[in-house]
Amino acid sequence: MIPNRLQIYLYIIFAIFILLSCQKNNDDIIIIPNNKTEVKKLIIVADRFYNNKNFDSAFYYYNKVKFICNPITDSENFVSTVNRMAEIQQNQGDYTGSESTVTEAIPYLKYIKNPEYAWNTYITLSINFLNTYDYKKAILYNQKAFELKSKPWQKLAAENNIAIILIEEEKYHESLEIFLRLLSKKEVTSDDEFHSKVLDNTGFCYFKINDSENAIRYFNKGLEIRQKGKKTFDLGKSYFHFAKYYEKRNPSLAKKYMLSSYTQFTISNSVDERMESLKLLITNSSDRELKKYSVIYVNLVDSIFEVRQKAKNQFAKIKYDSKKDRDENLKLKTHKVENQLQIEKQKNRNIISYIIIIFTLSLILVLYFYLTSRGNKEKIEATYNSETRIAKKLHDELANDIYHTMAFAENKNLSLVENREHLINNLDAIYSRTRDISKENNPIITSEKYIFYLEEMIAGFNTPHLYLLVNNIDTISWDKIDKNKKITVYRVLQELLVNMKKHSDATLVSITFKATYKSIIVNYTDNGKGIDLNNITFRNGLHNAENRILAIKGKIDIHTAPKKGFKVFFEFPL
């Protein structure tokens, strides 16, 4: 917070410039030049980097385009640029960041007549939701893409995406119905890549409904086309499905397909699919092979988390630095215009005017250096605290799990089914934990979309065995609440829900919001097994929540006992 005396000085400076600006004549009007030429030049540079797969540089230049492009008068360039940025983030596994980026394009789709731009936006969103397991929204945006007046192949692609999502939901009969309909379309059969994909997925649906004869027939048709095309990712998909098909029927043949699938996915650098092949190899291996693939899996999980986290941080930094540069350029332009105005008016001013100008400029410099120094210090402290917390979480939760898993693989007889299943469950838990840590440290949106992201975070803890009830969240005027307080509410509820998920075995959670004329009240309740506060196993989490509430001058009460559920009340001033 800026001291009250500095606030008064700021008001004085503002009043002075208002008075001086009133003396401007029509010659002082600033004309903003048309920047479409600059936009086109930057897009050419960005596209060149993108085509050469230099995605960091491509993202940097696309981001520069986004900041100087007018989204209303030049909406096509703006939307296509945002879509390309989201695609780059998506390819790096940053699905949350990609969703945040591509959402910026939605308000400006109405200014574009060509439906292709909207189609790209909706498809990108659907892929992000598919990879974050929000199948309902994934289908919704594919349906939006299908309803556009787009090209026939684009409609068929949207249908194909819906069928793939239905497979993820284990609705194999519904998915099969769509795939068979697609196979009757000439747009599908005339495109080898599209045709082979539909054939392979059709075979997989037949496999899942135990129609082995049709399954192997469609698998073979798809593989025959893919072997001609020699695309490593597509071949990996076919080999993976063959491995699943022969897993129980012919284990030795299945093992060959597993290795072929793993090899093709490794060549195509398809990390998630490579991990799926490794999991299949672990399930169907023993002794030294099992140990070998388990170590590869653990190392791959660790490297994926590191690479994707670096990519997220890099893209976030590019966006932040661009915004910072733009703001600084606007400040410089403002100062330049003000200085020119002062020079033009100098001839008609007396000594008092000179004194006011000198005093004003001096005070601006003092305030600028003071606020810059203070902001940098707070940023460094916040970064240090965040890094310390993430490092502790990685050490306490992830490193120990990896060590115990590797020790288990070395010391146990992995030829036993129960030991092998135990190992696979541990590996899945490690991978899920890395995703959770990454998600917990995403930046929080505190703009007008805050309520959307808050509800989305809460809904992310929903499971088939847990019912989450949120009351009166829309009655709060969130836009009138301080940014730090909104971040605190988000993080405290996230901490409580994470603890609930890990420890409580709750089936019902209720979160109720209430606003009074001077404060906000939040009640959290779950019907879990409760805890003994004197023997608590996750004190750090509650301690973090308490510190956050106290930092915004609020108060927090916790009521719980074994088998009595868990209740938290916290309140903070507006």
pLDDT at 234: 92
Q: How many residues does the chain have?
A: 574
Both 252 and 342 in one domain: the answer is no
Regarding whether 145 and 99 lie in a shared domain, the answer is yes
Q: Based on the domain organization, do 304 and 319 belong to the same domain?
A: no
Query: Do 84 and 222 have their domain in common?
Result: yes
Inform me whether the pLDDT recorded for 449 exceeds 70. yes
* Residue 409 reports pLDDT greater than 90: no
Residues 464 and 558 in one domain: yes
- Alpha carbon distance 279, 366 (integer Å): 61
Q: Which of 240, 188, 191, 193 is nearest to 219 (CA)?
A: 240
Q: Does residue 285 carry a pLDDT above 50? A: yes
For 531-563, how does the pLDDT look when each residue is reduced to its tens digit (9 = 90+)?
Answer: 877 766 545 677 888 889 999 999 999 988 888
Q: Are residues 190 and 301 in the same domain?
A: yes
Chosen domain end from 308, 336, 370: 308
What is d(CA 474, CA 14) in angstroms, rounded to the nearest whole number? 36
Give 402-425 as a DSSP string: HHHHHHHHHHS-TTSHHHHHHHHH
Enclosing H/E stretch for 552: none
Asked whether residue 444 is domain-assigned, the answer is no
In this structure, is residue 439 part of a structural domain? no
139 plus 124 within the same structural domain: yes
| pLDDT of 526 higher than 50 | yes
Q: What is the mean pLDDT of the chain?
A: 82
Write the secondary structure of 121-172 as one string of H (helix), E (strand) and C (coil).
HHHHHHHHHHHCCCHHHHHHHHHHHHHCCCCHHHHHHHHHHHHHHHHHCCCH
Residue 63 pLDDT > 50, yes or no? yes
Q: What is the mean pLDDT of residues 285-301?
A: 86
CATH of the domain at 562: 3.30.565.10
441 assigned to some structural domain: no
Helix boundaries (H) for 52-134: 55-68, 75-91, 95-102, 115-131
Least confidently predicted of 189-198, 314-323, 511-520, 564-573: 314-323
pLDDT band at 33 (very low <50, low <70, confident <90, very high): very low
Three-state secondary-structure class, residue 190: coil
Residues 6+ apart with CB under 8 A from 546: 556
pLDDT of residue 28: 42
pLDDT in tens, 4-24: 555 555 566 666 655 555 444
Q: Which of 222-231, 276-285, 361-370 has the lowest mean pLDDT?
A: 361-370
**Share of residues in the chain with pLDDT > 90 (%):** 39
Read off the CATH number of the domain in which 213 is found.
1.25.40.10
Q: Give pLDDT, residue 2.
A: 43
**pLDDT single digits (tens) 342-365:** 666 777 777 887 788 888 888 888
Tell me, what's the pLDDT at 371? 80
Q: What pLDDT sits at residue 357?
A: 84
**Predicted confidence (pLDDT) at residue 412 exceeds the cutoff of 60:** yes
Give how many domains the chain has, as a whole number.
3
First to last CA, the chain: 16
Q: Can you give the residue range of the structural domain that contains 423?
A: 4-30+311-433
Q: Of 246, 278, 308, which closes a domain?
A: 308
Residues 371 and 494 in one domain: no
Contact residues for 60 (Cβ-Cβ < 8 A; gap 6+): 318, 322
Q: Looking only at Cα atoms, what is the longest distance across the chain? A: 98
Both 175 and 299 in one domain: the answer is yes
Does residue 540 belong to any structural domain of this protein? yes
Mean pLDDT of 436-459: 76
Which has the closest alpha carbon to 167: 209, 132, 222, 117? 209
The residue that leads in pLDDT, 374 or 23, is 374
As a whole number, mean pLDDT of residues 130-138 equals 91
169 & 236 share domain? yes
Regarding whether 384 and 509 lie in a shared domain, the answer is: no
Q: 182 lies in a domain?
A: yes
pTM here is: 0.50
User: Is 511 buried (19+), middle (13-18) or exposed (0-12) by CB count in 10 A?
Assistant: buried
| Number of Cβ atoms within 10 Å of the Cβ of 542 | 19
Q: Residues 72-90: what's their mean pLDDT?
A: 91
**Whether the predicted pLDDT of 3 surpasses 70:** no
The answer to whether residue 438 is domain-embedded is: no
pLDDT at 30: 40
Between CA 559 and CA 501 the distance in angstroms is: 18
> For residue 270, is it within any domain?
yes
Same-domain status, 292 and 333: no
| Least confident piece of the model among 190-199, 267-276, 293-302, 370-379 | 370-379
109, 150 contact by CB (below 8 A): no
Q: Where among 399, 433, 467 does a domain terminate? A: 433
How confident is the model over 227-254, as pLDDT tens digits? 998 899 999 999 999 999 998 999 999 9
Residue 126 in domain: yes
